[in-house]
């Protein structure tokens, strides 16, 4: 059973049976029922993030330039973004539905390549953005809206 646990920045990340999802993994195969069955509560930090447009450009920014990313057809379910002012760069967190496996979802964090980021990343299908090679750490508004879009 998956749950959400709070990290040091008040964001939430998935845990399985009380254990944190290991760092460094792209979450390609998140199951619909795992999200629907999660208890999601309010946490601080949601106001920094806003919902983003569902567009081909944003879709390409969230698809990893990997074998799995290229082998599947993806559809946007949800995107939130945070613009860092005055630096002018964008971080996006998104849920993509695998059209070949409609009950499987990919959770991706995409950053403008100008972002100072000290962890592993891989190219996205947009030359100006990279995918963070990490588990999803997101505010509660992300998790609540993801669940709502699956339910309603």
What's the confidence (pLDDT) of residue 45?
58
What's the confidence (pLDDT) of residue 125?
98
- Give Cα 117 distance to the centre of its chain: 16
With contact defined as beta carbons under 8 Å apart, do 52 and 92 qualify? yes
Mean pLDDT by 10 residues, the chain (152 residues): 81 82 78 90 73 98 95 97 82 96 94 87 96 91 95 94
Pairing of strands 74-84, 50-51: antiparallel
What's the confidence (pLDDT) of residue 119?
87
Which of 124, 77, 75, 131 has the alpha carbon at shortest distance from 100? 75
What's the confidence (pLDDT) of residue 103?
94
What's the confidence (pLDDT) of residue 62?
98
Which of 82, 110, 77, 109 has the alpha carbon at shortest distance from 95? 77
> In terms of C-beta density within 10 A (0-12 exposed, 13-18 middle, 19 or more buried), how is residue 30 classed?
buried
The residue extents of the domains of the chain are 23-151
What's the confidence (pLDDT) of residue 111?
95
């Amino acid at each position: 059973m998956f749950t959400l646990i709070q990290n040091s920045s008040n964001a939430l990340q998935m845990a399985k049976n009380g254990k944190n999802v290991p760092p460094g993994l792209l979450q390609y195969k998140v199951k619909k029922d795992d999200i629907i069955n999660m208890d999601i509560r309010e946490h601080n930090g949601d106001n920094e993030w806003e919902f983003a447009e569902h567009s081909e450009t944003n879709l390409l920014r969230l698809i990893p330039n990997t074998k799995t990313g290229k082998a599947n057809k993806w559809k946007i379910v949800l995107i939130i973004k945070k613009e860092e002012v005055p630096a002018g760069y964008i971080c996006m967190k998104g849920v993509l539905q695998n059209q070949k496996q409609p009950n499987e979802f990919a959770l991706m964090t995409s950053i403008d390549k100008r972002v100072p980021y000290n962890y592993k990343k891989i190219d996205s299908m947009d030359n100006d953005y990279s995918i963070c090679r990490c588990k999803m750490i997101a505010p509660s508004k992300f998790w609540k809206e993801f669940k709502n879009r699956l339910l309603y």
